[in-house]
Structure 1
Amino acid sequence: FMRENMNTRVRGKKDLEGISIPFIGEIPLYLRIKRGIFRKPLPEVKAVVVKEGCRDIINEAFRVLRTNLEFMTDNENRSNVIVITSFNPGSGKSFLTMNMAVSLAIKNKKVLVIDGDMRHASTSSYVGSPQTGLSDYLNGRIEKISDIVISDKNHGNLYILPVGVIPPNPTELLFSKRLELLIDSVRAQYDYVFIDCPPIELVADTQIIEKLADRTIFVVRAGLLERSMLAELENIYNEKKYKNMSLILNATEGNGGHYGYRYGYRYGYHYGYGSGYHYGSDEKRGGK
């Protein structure tokens, strides 16, 4: 009882009832551990859990999220560039971005995922972290966008634009006119463009990118975000600091409740901003 009452973090959807931001989805925790099997530490988990025809609970949750997202956007590609951000590192932005993209690609939507986090490049790791990408285009080393866009091997309608070499001056690069040219170009070519951005509290990168986008999805991770921050999130929405904001609740636990299962989505996350955030990886404790 004391532990529950002293818990100051968001625990579930009920904690979000007091805010007016449009709510578009709740994703349960996803656990990638084989219990009792101990191995050497592995790299950070990169989980694409959305599978065509799969009817488990996490896939159903992504279908609901996809349907709500489709209601929010139009069919004429005028509001299809979407920024995904959060307050905290480790909220699961890259995980959600890739799985939302796969969910739409399965429905024959042409989807581009841009790794807009040029300090950590989590999304780029889904395609092997190539050495050429967004940073090379923004500084003029690459002229054609098509030269840096990578087709996903498993989904014919999914494309990823990685960071490339992590630059020493990402904020300055994002001020480049070439970023606006890139977004204007891909807006017309794809049904959906997702831009995985850094947390808003750490650097100015997200604010720069958001000015060129059409919508903002804010990720709140259960068990991570302090409930006191919800008031600040509501202020951001009311003051319209980000265009067309909506909210996803990530990593909820269904202990016999709404989902009826318990999932765990854990992974190593060390954000490269000198912030001190570091979340332990199950792999480093011997799981997979």
Structure 2
Amino acid sequence: IRKNILFVAFALGMLIPLVIIFLRETMNNKVRGRKDLEGLSMPLIGEIPQFDQKKSGLFTKKVPDLKAVVVKEGSRDVINEAFRVLRTNLEFMTEKGKKSNVIVVTSFNPSSGKSFLTINMGVSLAIKGQKVLVIDGDLRHGSASSYVNSPRIGLSDYLSGRMDRLNELIVPDKNHKGLDILPVGTIPPNPTELLFDDRLRQVIDKVRECYDYVLIDCPPAEMVADTQIIEKLADRTIFVVRAGLFERSMLQELENIYNEKKYKNISLILNGTVGNTGRYGYRYGYRYGYHYGYGSDKKREVSEWVSNN
């Protein structure tokens, strides 16, 4: 009897984890990896593995995640190789020169890691000798601005007319020659209205001629109209899909956006994948929420403006 009890206990110990794993996989409706994207028509230009700040010794409660620059000159680890592939594809897309060098980076979901990717793409391009400007186009949160300690003046102050000299607002990166950051500055109460102003076009026209690449970190595309307004002045759009966050049912919506050419020259980055990465095991996460508070009238007004411009 004792042997039978031990056998049953052993069998249950083996079976229960398998059942749990099966149920988790069956109920998982999120994008899990590259295979889930095979049905999309849009080009996939990069796949970035997860990054674990704790394992890399970068974790601290006082330092924002965005300050975690994982791209290192000469490093041959998995995540650096992934960024090299991404950089090569970016260079291929923009090989015609500065006429196509303004790139919007956005997503459907908050917490997709687009600010992290934008900064590290900028570092990767700067390491290769390119002159790069990262613009924090999220006037509501200024996430990318934290990389340069969120200066009090920046893009919003220029758009509002409080500052007239754009070059005085651009912050050179002390650690990477050739990389500059244009922070948000003052978080405005009326970000969409500021973006309507023609001064945004003046900003893009000025920096386009001065930099090899201009990367604009924007809010999630379908949450507010900010990204659609900025995208009208850019040359191409990169959507970030976060593995484990983006629902597979939304892939068709992404395909529709691509087929309808709602945004110019769309490409895709798959972020936060987990695979056989050996000892590297990259993982990272963002914890901030978007609370925009737009009413239906404001959404209608913005949508009409975007469709007519």
Q: Are residues 1:52 and 2:73 paired?
A: yes
Aligned to 1:143: 164
Aligned to 1:170: 191
By relative contact order (CA 8 Å, sep 6+), the higher-ranking structure is 1
Q: CA deviation at 1:75?
A: 4.2
- Counterpart of 1:167, as a letter, is P
8 Å CA contact 2:29–2:247 kept in 1: the answer is yes
Q: CA deviation at 1:72?
A: 0.4
Unaligned stretches of 5+ residues in structure 2: 1-21, 295-309
The 2-side partners of 1:154 and 1:40 are apart by 20
Aligned to 2:289: 270
The 2-side partners of 1:20 and 1:138 are apart by 37
Q: Are residues 1:233 and 2:254 paired?
A: yes
Which has the larger displacement, 45-54 or 265-274? 265-274
Q: Are residues 1:192 and 2:201 paired?
A: no
The 1-side partners of 2:271 and 2:119 are apart by 14
Number of aligned pairs? Answer: 270
Q: CA deviation at 1:267?
A: 3.3
The 2-side partners of 1:91 and 1:135 are apart by 24
- Counterpart of 1:45, as a letter, is D
What are the superposed Cα offsets for residues 204-251 of structure 1, whole Å, 9 maximum, x if unpaired? 000000000000000000000000000000000000000000000000
Q: Are residues 1:96 and 2:117 paired?
A: yes
Aligned to 2:201: 180
The 2-side partners of 1:274 and 1:48 are apart by 32
Unaligned stretches of 5+ residues in structure 1: 276-288
The SS at the match of 1:194 is: strand
8 Å CA contact 2:64–2:146 kept in 1: the answer is no
State, as a whole percentage, how many aligned pairs show the same letter: 70
Q: CA deviation at 1:269?
A: 2.2
8 Å CA contact 1:44–1:268 kept in 2: the answer is no
8 Å CA contact 2:192–2:225 kept in 1: the answer is yes
The 2-side partners of 1:40 and 1:109 are apart by 31
Q: Are residues 1:42 and 2:57 paired?
A: no
8 Å CA contact 2:113–2:286 kept in 1: the answer is no
Q: TM-score scaled to structure 2, two decimals? A: 0.84
Structure of greater Rg: 2
Q: How does 1:1-288 map onto structure 2 within 5 Å?
A: 1-33=22-54, 41-46=61-66, 47-254=68-275, 256=276, 259-260=277-278, 261-273=280-292
Runs ≥4 in structure 1, deviation > 6 angstroms? Answer: none
